[in-house]
Structure 1
Amino acid sequence: MQGVVTQCLSNGMFRVKLENGFYVLAHVSGKIRRNYIRILLGDKITVELSPYDLTRGRIVYRLRQNEQKTET
């Protein structure tokens, strides 16, 4: 599911607005941490939602700037 980062919180947590209008609290996946990929305010990202708590998720991919422009 895709969304946009609306708020940067502490400890690698982010508030993300999903395509369907819901907000989730998401943390950065290990692959993104290991490769030092920065997540900034306004970035378009892909989120995996937790099957146990639909208000929490994991950021698994950050779209590049040129990918963001072509989708709008």
Structure 2
Amino acid sequence: MLQITSPYAKLDERMSKEDLLDVQGTVSAVHSGGLYRVQSDAGHEVLAQLSGRMRRFRIRVVPGDRVTVGVSPYDPARGIITFRAR
């Protein structure tokens, strides 16, 4: 029996949280739509959004906060804020 597979089957695989690179940085600006501009300690600028758990527990992030951003190795210009330091 011949089995036909889609060429896009590999694209449906999602990255897990463990695949993200953790970057430390400081929030430099807050944009509309829940986006934050984060200046990393290495000097890179990342456009990030809050993780679902941070939205669920209503954790506020303001400019000047120290945060941890999960950055994809495929697109290092965007990320997810996973932790806000106290």
Q: TM-score range by the shorter chain?
A: 0.7 to 0.9
Deviating runs (4+, > 3 A) in structure 1?
A: none
Q: Distance in 2 between matches of 1:13 and 1:50?
A: 16
Q: Name the count of aligned residue pairs.
A: 64
Q: Could you report, residue by residue, the CA deviation over 1:18-72 in whole angstroms, capped at 9, with x for unpaired residues?
A: 01000010000000000000000100000000232110000000000xxxxxxxx
Q: Match for residue 12 of structure 1?
A: 34
Q: Match for residue 76 of structure 2?
A: 54
Larger radius of gyration: 2
CA RMSD of superposed structures (Å): 0.6
Unaligned 5+ segments in structure 1 are 65-72
How many angstroms does 1:12 deviate by? 0.9
Using structure 1 for the length normalisation, give the TM-score: 0.86
Q: Match for residue 29 of structure 1?
A: 51
Q: Distance in 2 between matches of 1:35 and 1:24?
A: 23
Unaligned 5+ segments in structure 2 are 1-22
Using structure 2 for the length normalisation, give the TM-score: 0.72
